[in-house]
Amino acid sequence: MKEKQIKIPGSDHPISIQPNPDRVVVSVAGRVVADTGNALTLREADYPAVQYIPREDVDFSQLERTDHTTYCPYKGDCNYYSVLAGGRKSVNAVWSYEDPFPAVAQIKGHVAFYSDRVDEIAEQLPTTREPSKSRGDNKG
């Protein structure tokens, strides 16, 4: 069996993880599968940004773990879940690095969703008690 290669993020393949101040809501077939104000935004090289949602903010009763696994040399072994309400579209729609490499340890205890396998991953401005104060709509 070939030994798995481990790579460290760097200038040739940068990875950054930042708290997302927005509320992130994931829905499938009219059902909210995840809803959090504590998402982490992971930006990796030239890939689109991904929202990692704390497991406690995900409705796991709507998910089913699958046998599918993958390996990322930057993040580690990855496990998958399907969203039951989504049918064939949502097979392996959710992934989780349950024991990520140290460089991305922040994503432990989080899951992410493929945007093309769910109906929506919405980022909403957080509600405040003072409606006159606006955060603006700058996203970065």
Residues 6+ apart with CB under 8 A from 65: 79, 80, 81
Q: What are the residue boundaries of the structural domains of the chain, listed by start?
A: 15-124
Given the candidates 3.40.640.10, 3.40.50.1370, 2.170.150.40, 3.30.70.260, the CATH classification of the domain at 15-124 is 2.170.150.40
How far is it, in rounded angstroms, from Cα 50 to Cα 65?
Answer: 20
Q: Two tokens at 97? A: 């690095």
Q: How far apart are CA 30 and CA 19, in angstroms?
A: 27
pTM equals 0.88
pLDDT tens across the length of the chain (140 residues)? 678 999 999 999 999 999 999 999 999 999 999 999 999 999 999 999 999 999 999 999 999 999 999 999 999 999 999 999 999 999 999 999 999 999 999 999 999 999 999 999 999 987 654 444 444 444 34
